[in-house]
Amino acid sequence: MRELSTVDRKILAKLQGDFPICERPYAEAAEQLGISEEELLQRIEQLLADKVLTRFGPMFQIEEMGGAFVLAALAAPEERYEEVAALVNALPAVAHNYRREHALNMWFVLATETKAGIAEAIARIERDTGLPVYAFPKEREFFVEMKLEARL
């Protein structure tokens, strides 16, 4: 794991949201961090290259645009794990996929532009892998706020 400088940490602490929408947003954000626009751009580029950041930009909430977002899982036999992961990941509708320790050992999030897209994606994964997919659509959301600060 790569070391993070004080400035990198500050970027992570202050810039997980509220990036401005204006003519020179990097300049405005940089000023609040006490660095130059050029330095901020370079640092973000480096953090992305080092995979400390997976992305820098808007995070969309697909349900608000009429689409759907559903957690699903399957039990992949160990000897087929990589093959199944490749088949699942090949679908653009799969936004995230995690290996977890459980009989249901592959947990992924489907994000589709229409609600009907979820059933299609599940049917496709079941057909491609030959494995049953368990869907866990949210029935109620109590809290979502994924902003974790660097703790290295």
Partner 1 sequence: MIDRKIDDVDRSLIVATQGGLPLVPQPYHAIAEQLGLSADEVMQRLRAMLESGIIRRIGAVPNHYAIGWTANGMTVWDVADELVDELGARIGALDFVTHCYRRPRALPAWPYNLFAMVHGASRAECSAKAEEIGVLLGDACRGSDILYSTKILKKTGLRLAR
Using CA atoms, how far residue 136 sits from 4, 74, 139, in Å, is 37, 11, 9
Site for partner 1 in 30-59 (CB under 8 A): 37, 41, 44-45, 47-48, 50-59
Smallest distance from partner 1 to CB 115, Å: 8
Neighbours of 66 (CB within 10 A): 9
Smallest distance from partner 1 to CB 57, Å: 4
Rank residues 26 and 120 by Cβ distance to partner 1 and give the closer one: 26
- End-to-end Cα spacing for the chain: 9
If DSSP states are collapsed to H, E and C, what string results for 18-39? Answer: CCCCCCCHHHHHHHHHCCCHHH
**Position among 7, 15, 33, 35 found at the interface with partner 1 (CB under 8 A):** 15
Given a contact cutoff of 8 angstroms between Cβ atoms, the answer to whether 80 and 51 are in contact is no
CA-CA distance, 35 to 7, in Å (whole number)? 8
**Position among 68, 87, 94, 122 found at the interface with partner 1 (CB under 8 A):** 94
Site for partner 1 in 100-139 (CB under 8 A): 100-104, 106-108, 111, 113-114, 134, 136-139
Rank residues 99 and 130 by Cβ distance to partner 1 and give the closer one: 99
Rank residues 21 and 127 by Cβ distance to partner 1 and give the closer one: 21
Residues 58-77 vs partner 1: string with x where CB under 8 A? xxxxx-xxx----x------
Smallest distance from partner 1 to CB 122, Å: 13
Using CA atoms, how far residue 18 sits from 91, 103, 145, in Å, is 31, 40, 14
Radius of gyration of the chain (CA): 19
